[in-house]
Amino acid sequence: MRILVLAPQPFFEPRGTPFSVLWRLKALSHLGHEVDVLTYHVGRDVLIPGVTIYRTPSIRFIREVAIGPSVVKVFLDGLLFISAYRLLLRNRYDLLHTHEEAGFFGTLLARGFGIPHLYDMHSSLPQQLKNFEFSHFGPLIYLFEWLERRVIHASDAVITICPALEEHVRRIGGHLPHVMIENVGSEEEPEDLSEKDFRQFLATHSLEQKEVLLYAGTFERYQGLDLLIASAEEVTRRHPDSVFLLMGGKPDQLIYYQKMVKDRGLSNYFRFTGMRPPDEIPVAIRLSHVLLSPRVSGTNTPLKIYAYLRSGKPIVATNLQTHTQVLNGSVAVLVEPNADALAKGIISILDSPLYGRDLGARARRFFEERYSFAKFVQKTEQVLQLAVG
């Protein structure tokens, strides 16, 4: 099957949806399909067998694309639409596979060229307008809600990434062909990390003989880093050898949170790495004592949760739907979204390493039973057949 994938993101960059697009492409490659992916001019190429990357025209003054809705994305999506139209004129495709807002015009392109359309729904876009505080203007929210309903009803099949989105699609689309495919990541197990990798990472970030508490991800406000920093005073008082390792964040976000830490007198207990290559994340996870996800809003499951489960390390996460649709109290410490509760959850693991090891072992078994790459590929093939069938 020849598939055209429309990815309205800077692909590839090490962050949420681009990771999801990468894993979808690896699954399509694994299944033997021929794939053309069209994405923004921003991002770096990746080599995947059977996958060819096309990009929109380069815009010199746009060198990065922020996470979430923006005027810049509207402009780039216009270029994506024009470039997709040209590709469809030149080539014959068996399926159009669109991610996120590309579904808005993907339905028109699919109908115009007479090919099936698969909509990959990573989030509810009207909800994103609110989460990222892009707009609370009622008519604009209503317009996006109407567009979302239209895309879902006009698609031949839909992919969602978590139970909350699955239920959202069921409410809108009824019996529309649909498969939930969790973002479990690639087929590669990070088992070949060398001792040199660990020693170098520990030395670079001054983590020797420390109890490492890891957060890895974006630094958007809904991720709950304010909550995490507020919890640190009690954690470090009880465990003075503990260190919060925060991986990710853009330069302006790093400045903001570094100042917050400094103002609280906690600079010695925090390490900020900035955005790092994806291959450093498994190293950080492996040497950590506790893995953290303090998210305070949203309904989508953070991608990091699957990597956390897979690692077999103890997890502390807020007791909100964004986590509880995957996690439960037998595989993670779930806490209320306040600083005191988060601190107590972290301390409960640091106080009892045996408890932490048992929790991590259960998390690893939980992952192996439910979220293997083989199942990821199997579900991908299932939704492809629904879309073209």
Q: Are residues 180 and 208 in the same domain?
A: no
Residue pair 122/103 in contact (Cβ under 8 Å)? The answer is: no
With respect to residue 233, please indicate whether it lies within any of the assigned structural domains.
yes
Q: What are 117-162's pLDDT values in tens digits? A: 999 999 887 777 665 555 566 787 888 888 899 999 999 999 999 8
Same domain, 241 and 284: yes
Same domain membership, residue 43 and residue 16: yes
190 within some domain? no
- Give the residues across from 242 on adjacent strands: 211
Shared domain for 353 and 377, answered yes or no, is no
Domain that holds residue 102: 2-184+372-388
pLDDT above 80 for 10: yes
CA angle 266, 272, 273 (to 5 degrees): 165
249: phi > 0 → left, psi -120 to 50 → alpha, else beta; which?
left
For residue 341, being part of any structural domain is answered with yes
Has residue 120 been placed in a domain? Answer: yes
> Which element (helix H / strand E) includes 317?
strand 315-318
Cα→Cα distances 149→9, 103, 119, 126, Å: 22, 11, 12, 11
This prediction's pTM? 0.81
Does residue 189 lie within any of the structural domains?
no
Q: Are residues 161 and 46 both part of a single domain?
A: yes
What token pair was written down for 339?
């600083």
CB-CB contact of 271 with 243 (8 Å): yes
Query: For 31-88, how does the pLDDT look when each residue is reduced to its tens digit (9 = 90+)?
Result: 999 999 999 999 999 999 999 999 999 999 999 998 878 889 999 999 999 999 999 9
182-198 mean pLDDT: 70
Task: Indicate whether 209 and 353 sit together in one domain.
Answer: yes
Q: Give the CATH number of the domain where residue 314 resides.
A: 3.40.50.2000
Pair 378, 264 in one domain: no
pLDDT digits (tens, 9 = 90+) for 302-317: 989 999 999 999 999 9
Q: Which residue has the tokens 């979302």?
A: 148
CA distance to 61, 141, 244, 325, per residue, from 284 (Å): 34, 39, 12, 25
The reply to whether 199 falls in a domain is: yes
Quote the CA–CA distance of 53 and 46 in Å, as a whole number. 8
pLDDT recorded at residue 191: 54
- Note whether 175 and 286 are same-domain residues: no
Number of neighbouring beta carbons within 10 Å of residue 242: 20
Query: For the residues 201-228, what does the mean pLDDT come to?
Result: 95
Residue in 122, 116, 181 with CA at minimum distance from that of residue 378: 181
Regarding whether 352 and 377 lie in a shared domain, the answer is: no
Residues 379, 360 share a domain:
no
132 found inside a domain: yes
Residues 200 and 109 in one domain: no
Q: Are residues 7 and 112 in the same domain?
A: yes
- Please give the pLDDT value at position 262: 98
The structure tokens 């402009």 sit at: 75
86 belongs to a structural domain: yes
Q: What total number of domains does the chain contain?
A: 2
